[in-house]
Structure 1
Amino acid sequence: MQYRTRKNMKFQFDEETRRTIYYRDDESCIFCRWQYHMENKDPMLYRTKDIMHYINKSQGGLGVPQNGAVGCRYHHMLLDNGSKGLRSEMIVIFKEYLMQQYPDWNEDELRYKKWNFPTFG
């Protein structure tokens, strides 16, 4: 079992952030709204909702509303596993959705930076 430590808490969506995202997205999958690749026959995968990271936790993606959206379990698996070759297309859709929600959205602000030194040259 993975425990939440101070180090990894910044990558998790806390309860308040999860509620914010569910409310913002009207508790519905951003991909199901567009009927995006709905060929799965198991309705339970569409009913089970998750919060998806735009920038993965493993790549330093923060647990902030600007880095997450509601996705059904099916679309979340498609996004994370990329086994059907749809990840790059889904990331574009995800990015456009977040940019609509947050006009000042900036992808660079969604990653954890331990050392934020200015670059020269």
Structure 2
Amino acid sequence: MTDIPARVKAAVAARDCTHGPATCILCGAPGGPHCHVVRRSQGGMGVVENIVTLCGPCHYAFDEGLFMDRLRPLGFHSQADIRAYIINYLRGFYPDWTEEKVRYHKWG
């Protein structure tokens, strides 16, 4: 349930093409539709509403807080800044987006 199917990756890549095909929604560099907003370890599903296209350094910044220096000129000073931006980005497409809606619940 947490893996990202090829059809989901294709849909996310098509959605996240502001700077061209398969580009990072944060910095515009080449990237891939493989970043779970709600982490897999937290039950985040591999669905369109939980995946965004990020480049490698931005993905590391979002997940681990690494490579933040390159994002500061873009206004991102912390993982929380990145998270807030991504959630707002997703709410632009899915106005009722919540973490609970993209989290796997085994019993309902």
What is the TM-score with the length of structure 2 in the denominator? 0.79
Q: What RMSD in Å do the two structures reach over aligned CA positions?
A: 1.6
CA distance in 1, matches of 2:82, 2:46: 19
1:52 is matched by which residue type in structure 2? C
Aligned pairs, number: 95
In structure 2, stretches of 5+ residues that fail to align are 69-76
1:89 is matched by which residue type in structure 2? D
Structure 1, 69-78 or 83-92: larger mean CA deviation: 83-92
Query: Secondary structure, in 3 states, of the residue corresponding to 1:32?
Result: coil
CA distance in 2, matches of 1:47, 1:103: 27
What is the TM-score with the length of structure 1 in the denominator? 0.71
Counterpart in the other structure of 1:13: 4
- Report % sequence identity: 29
Q: Report whether the alignment pairs 1:58 with 2:41.
A: yes
Cα gap change, 1:91 to 1:13, in 2 (>3 Å): same
CA distance in 2, matches of 1:103, 1:111: 17
Counterpart in the other structure of 1:93: 85
Larger radius of gyration: 1
CA distance in 2, matches of 1:109, 1:47: 28
In structure 1, stretches of 5+ residues that fail to align are 1-9, 34-45, 117-121
